Amino acid sequence: MTDTAAGSPTLPTLPIQPTSLDPADPAAWEAFRAQAHRMLDDMIGHLRTLREQPVWRPIPAALRTRWREPLPARPVPVAELHERFLAEVLPHAVGNAHPRFMGWVQGAGTPEGLLAEMLAAGLNANVGGRDQMPLEVERQVVHWMRELFDFPDTASGLLVTGSSTANLIGVLVARTRALGVDSRRDGLGADGLRLVAYASAAAHGCVAQAMAIAGLGSAALRRVPVDADHRIDVAALRRMLATDRAAGLQPFLVVGTAGTVDVGAIDDLDALATLCAAERLWFHVDGAFGALARLSPALAPRLAGIERADSLALDFHKWGQVPYDAGFVLVREQSAQLAAFASPAAYLARHPRGLAAGSPWPCDLGPDLSRGFRALKVWFTVMAHGRERLGAAIEASCRLARRLAERVDADARLQRLAPVALNIVCLRYVGAAPDLADGPPLDEAALDALNAELVADLHESGVAAPSTTTIGGRTAVRVALVNHRTVEADLDLLLEALHHFGRLRLRQARVSGSGLPILSDESSR
């Protein structure tokens, strides 16, 4: 190594070591490049032809067995690995990129997101800390979210795996605020055992799980009743707060939901914010998918009050259409987040110069030191499409849901089980004459079993992939419209297939002792 006239060292060219995992020579690099181009072309072709493919294919038993191979001792050519991926993995994925994947609130991804993931993998940045540009990309995303949700400049944010982790961070920040920063060293103590939190009966299960992981216990989460629109009953919440305080307990947290998992309902966030301010409670919003409705000028008013939250969880990999995984947490005051997570470990010492500059780091704001470069795919997606186009895609999902609800309401063979708040329609197949003429009317238990089987029929047909849930004690076919590729013609295919399988199960089936119409293998195909 020698010094240049400017004082910077010149770097020598060193030979590739036998232990390097890179291609061995220029020719091998070129062969790898050609193979990489084939792989990228195949994935772009896959995305381009999604409509020509089944939504989902069952995994053959022999294929499952093959994927129990021993640890390989010797290299396998990348081309061979690629062929196995195409033949064995790609056809049997969950299918959420497909326009008729409607079962769960999962985004479809974008071609731009695919490219961003490739670039991020090539960079292989650990974005836990250090003074590096990937941190600035993440800070850009945080700045956008402050702007979108009208949070102050004092707010901090963090990209995480998903809203389960984001909600956990919200609970942990609220817990530290309630017990003081010394609780990180001393534990919960008696005061921790008195803490209680509140969420609606329709809140996602990850909130109770967060309470358990936080050491407070899932039983310390009070489930508040919901109204006819599946929104938290604020009056009932007030009564529960008073009861718990009278019993010597310490309320510390209220979780509002922006988009419940079953029906997509949005709690009265403004009323909850007012209540929390009066009661001196931390107000957290689980906006896993619904929070991004803020991108739509038409839908944003439904989220009134979200800007008053102390913390907020959301997923870019849902309505944001960013490839998995890309969750996010936003905290109104960075000092509260630092109090919950910042660590003085010696190996994380900071310095005004070099790689140890640029504090605070993401590892000061959450539990992870090792973190992938998630922000790049978020940045690519937002920049490639812009706020208006992303908001329009969200509006389109809600418009399709309203259209589906109208069609369900107009069809005597179908029954809608819940209001449509955003993009989720819960329905069930009940049949109609002459389909019911071959047997006695189905009771509620038989209808529940029938609809569960119809959903499985739809999955195995490859036509569409809704899911099931329970609404008012009844099994519902749950249609969650999230995919930016979905159009009304996809609803046509869903309903056509639902009626097809419904008729088969009611007309051609023999009725078991439980009353469930059971199809033969031949009639179900």
Rounded-to-10 torsion of CA 313, 318, 324, 330: -20
Domain boundaries, the chain: 125-343+355-373, 387-518
pLDDT tens by residue, 69-117: 999 999 999 999 999 999 999 999 988 999 999 999 999 999 999 999 9
How far apart, in whole angstroms, are the C-alpha atoms of residue 164 and residue 267?
19
Cα R_g (the chain), whole angstroms:
26
Model-wide pTM > 0.75: yes
How far apart, in whole angstroms, are the C-alpha atoms of residue 16 and residue 331?
47
Residue 135 has pLDDT above 70, yes or no: yes
Peptide bond preceding 325 in cis form (omega within 30 of 0): yes
Question: Phi/psi class of residue 456: alpha, beta or left (left: φ > 0; alpha: ψ in -120 to 50)?
Answer: alpha
What mean pLDDT comes out for the span 456-477? 97
Which of these CATH numbers, 3.40.50.2300, 2.40.160.10, 3.40.1790.10, 3.90.1150.170, describes 387-518? 3.90.1150.170
Lowest mean pLDDT across 112-121, 292-301, 356-365, 476-485? 356-365
pLDDT tens by residue, 279-314: 999 999 999 999 999 999 999 999 999 999 999 999
At 83, list the tokens: 């062929």
Confirm if 179 and 188 have CB atoms less than 8 A apart. yes
At 348, list the tokens: 């994380």
- Determine the CATH number of domain 125-343+355-373: 3.40.640.10
pLDDT tens by residue, 402-441: 999 999 999 999 999 999 999 999 999 998 765 655 556 6
Pick the closest to residue 290 from 149, 403, 427 (CA basis). Answer: 149
At 45, list the tokens: 């072709």
Confirm if 478 and 103 have CB atoms less than 8 A apart. yes
At 254, list the tokens: 């209220």
Q: How far is the CA of 121 from the CAs of 12, 116, 117, 126, 212, in angstroms?
A: 26, 8, 6, 11, 34
How many C-beta atoms surround the C-beta of residue 523 within 10 A?
13
How far apart, in whole angstroms, are the C-alpha atoms of residue 393 and residue 107?
11
Q: What is the pLDDT of residue 479?
A: 98
At 113, list the tokens: 């997101």
How far apart, in whole angstroms, are the C-alpha atoms of residue 292 and residue 73?
47
How far apart, in whole angstroms, are the C-alpha atoms of residue 114 and residue 321?
11
